[in-house]
Amino acid sequence: MADNARSWHVAGSYFEACNCDVICPCRRQGGQKVASRSTYGVCDFALSWLIRNGSAEATDLAGLKVVMAGSYDDDEEGQPWRVALYVDESADQRQAEALGAIFSGKWGGAALRQFAANIVQVHAVRRAKIALDHRPSNWLIRANEFVEVRAREVVRSDLPVTCGIPGHDRTGDEVLAEVMRVDDAPLRFEVHGRCGYASTFDYRSDEAASR
């Protein structure tokens, strides 16, 4: 159950990468699940959200950035996520607290159940200098020295490819990530030439969604 749930809404652009081969087994192609397991049995990932517009009650969140890195094992019951969350260093205290609560799932939200319900451990919530570029063929994630992802190439598919984290109701592009590197103990991994995905997102709290 969400802690101290309140009304909030965030929307904008989304970009991620993980260590699976393209097209990621988590995706759907033409509405059908690609596969049932991660390519290598363990999924290491980096996710990013650029908030174009949004607020948590009276707190404005527009223009802020969030990055999450984490990992899960297909063979662990429930495939629980263990993550680190990076919050835009330009956020003030109220904004930072709101972003941490929203993207860790503490404040609920129908769309966030697609991933936040799987989070069982948050290794750290850090303020970070975050650079995000979600423009086609210029995709970038950087959070201090902890996270770096770069991608330029779209992976072509005859069927539409969707991802559950931004929502299968939203269109997007499967991409080939040149590099995904995370170095923030206990999360440490680096891969090249693996999958990524770019789309948009629109998340709302349970209260906001019910209006």
84/106: higher pLDDT: 84
> What is the per-residue pLDDT for 36?
79
pLDDT at 4 over 90: no
The full set of domain ranges for the chain reads: 8-205
Which letter, b or e, does each residue of 48-63 get, where b requires 16 or more Cβ atoms within 10 Å of its Cβ? bbbbbebbbeebebee
* Best CA proximity match to 46, nearest among 161, 162, 181: 181
pLDDT by residue (tens digit) across 23-47?
999 999 999 988 879 999 999 999 9
Considering the chain, what percentage of its residues have pLDDT values greater than 70?
94
**DSSP character at residue 209:** H
208/21: higher pLDDT: 21
138/34: higher pLDDT: 138
Q: Can you say how many angstroms the Cα of residue 4 is from the centroid of all Cα atoms in its chain? A: 23
Kind and range of the H or E element at 207?
A: helix 206-209
> What is the per-residue pLDDT for 17?
98
105/173: higher pLDDT: 173
